[in-house]
Amino acid sequence: MATSLSKPVLFGAFLFFALFAMTASGADPRSEFDKGTRAFQKKDYEEARAAFERARQAGLDTPALWYNLGVTEYQLGHYATAQRAFVRAAADPRWAQLASYNLGLVALQQKRPDAAAQQFRKAQTGSNTKLAALATTRLEQLSPAPKGETLATASLALGYDDNVIDPALLTPRQESDSFIELFGSLSHTTREKKQWRLDASAYLSDYQSIDAYDLGALLAGISRLKPIGAWRAEAGLFGEYSQLGGDPYLGRGRLQFQGRRSFEDLRLRLRYRFDQYTALDTAFNHLEGSRQQADVQGIWPAGKARLSIRYTLELNDRNDLATATTFTSYSPVRNTLRAGIDRPIGTDWRASAKVKFRNSHYDDTDVLLDSTRINREDDLTEAELHLQRALDKRWALYGTYIHSDNQSNIASYSYERNLFMAGVSGSF
C-alpha cells in the first residue's frame, strides 16, 4: 500500500523543489535544502530528513520546506511527524490542496478512514483539477464496493383546492373541490462499477366533482451515473404518458444532465432538462412542442437547519393556440427563484418553509376576443409550509399548505389559490 500511496507525494516533492529557489533567502539553508532534495531523489530518506532539518534549524520556514519534510517523514513511516509537517504547509492557501491530499494519505496509514475522507474532500475543492481527480478516486476507494440498491416510495394524501386551475389552459376555474392524491416510485441502482439507475413512478390526482381535471401520469427512465473529477454526474432519458379526465393527454420525452459537487459547507447541483411534448388528443395541440430548463441549486447547513436556494431559467417553444380571431401564446420565458429552510423539531418532527417567485414573459403577442393585442406577463408568488412526523423508520404523517398569488396583465390569468393536503408517506 505504501508504494502506491507514495506516487502523488513524489510528484509534489519534485514540483516544489523548483519553487524553492524563489522562496529561500540564505545560502546555507538553500544548500541544505538542495542536499535534502538530492537525497530524496536517491531514496536516501534518512539523509533527506537530516538535511531538511538542518535547513529548518538554519532559519528556513517556508511551505516548501514543511511539505518536503512531510513527504520524507511519510516515506520513513513517521506518520505523526509527517502529519504535523503537512499541517504547517497547509497554513499557506497556495499549498492547502496538496497538503490536504497528503494528510489524507497519512490518515489512511494511521487507519483513520473518516479523517482521510475529510482531507480528501478538502482536496476536491481546490483549483488543481488533477489533485481533485486523485482525491475523488481516493474517496471512491474508501467507499464500499457499489451495491445494487432498490428504493421504493409511496404516498396517499387527501386535499382541498379552493381554486382549481385548468392544467391545459392554465386558467382558474373559480371553483373549489376536494381531491385524493396518490404517488408511487421505484428506483434501482445497479451494483456494477459503471452504475446505471432505473426509475419508474406513477401519479394520480382525482377530484371529487370536477372529473375533467383528474390527472394521471406514468413515467420511466434510465440514467448513467459517473464521477467526473470532483463532480457526481448523471445523464438520463425518460418517457412519460399522461391522461386528463381519463382521456389521453400528453406524451413527453426527456433528456436530462446533472452534476453534484460537495464543498465543505455547500452542496451544489447543476441541471439541464430538455422536454419534447406530444399531444395525444387534438384538443391539446397548443401544448405540443419543447421546453428547456436550466437550474442551479445550493444547499448548506445553518445550525440544525438546512437552507436552500435555486434559480431556474425555462424556455418554451410550443405550438400555441390560434383561432380565426384570437391568438394565445403558451411559450413563456420563465425565471424562477426558490428559497427554503427545513429543520428538525424534537425527535420525530420536521418542519419546512419555502417561497417561490416566478416571472413569465411571453414574446409572442396575444390577440384577445376584443382584438386587444398584448404581450402577456405573469408574476407568481407562492409560499409553502410543510410539517412531517415520523412514525417509524419507514412511515411518516405530513401536512402541507400552499398559497399561490398570480398577477397577470391579462385579467383572466390572475388568481389566488389555497391548497391544503394531509397524508401518509413511506419509503422501503
Higher pLDDT, 200 or 115: 200
* Per-residue CA distances from 231 to 101, 239, 261, 263 (Å): 17, 26, 5, 11
Binning pLDDT at 50, 70 and 90, where does residue 114 land?
confident
The least confident of 122-126, 217-221, 413-417 is 122-126
Binning pLDDT at 50, 70 and 90, where does residue 408 land?
very high
Binning pLDDT at 50, 70 and 90, where does residue 380 land?
very high
Residues 36 and 48: their CA atoms lie apart, in Å, by 4
Higher pLDDT, 119 or 236: 236
Tens digits of residue pLDDT in 336-363:
999 999 999 988 999 999 999 999 999 9
Tell me, what's the pLDDT at 1?
33
425 DSSP 8-state letter: E
CB atoms within 10 A of CB 201: 17
Tell me, what's the pLDDT at 147?
63
Amino acid at 298: G
Tens digits of residue pLDDT in 21-63:
334 344 478 888 989 899 999 999 999 999 999 988 888 899 9
Tell me, what's the pLDDT at 146?
54
Tell me, what's the pLDDT at 23?
41
Binning pLDDT at 50, 70 and 90, where does residue 192 land?
confident
List of long-range contacts for 309-315, beta carbons under 8 Å, 24+ apart: 309/337, 309/338, 309/339, 309/340, 310/336, 310/337, 310/338, 310/339, 311/335, 311/336, 311/337, 311/338, 312/336, 312/338, 315/291
Higher pLDDT, 378 or 121: 378
Binning pLDDT at 50, 70 and 90, where does residue 138 land?
confident
Higher pLDDT, 5 or 304: 304
Tens digits of residue pLDDT in 389-407:
999 989 999 999 999 999 9
Q: Rank 192-206, 220-234, 316-330 by mean pLDDT and report only the highest.
A: 316-330
What's the average model confidence in pLDDT over 363-379? 97
The rounded percent of the chain whose pLDDT value lies above 90 is 72
Q: What is the mean pLDDT of the chain?
A: 90
Tell me, what's the pLDDT at 144?
60
What's the average model confidence in pLDDT over 224-248? 94
Domains of the chain: 2-142 (1.25.40.10), 149-427 (2.40.160.40)
pLDDT at 19 over 70: no
Residues 341 and 358: their CA atoms lie apart, in Å, by 19
What's the average model confidence in pLDDT over 152-176? 95
Tell me, what's the pLDDT at 15?
40
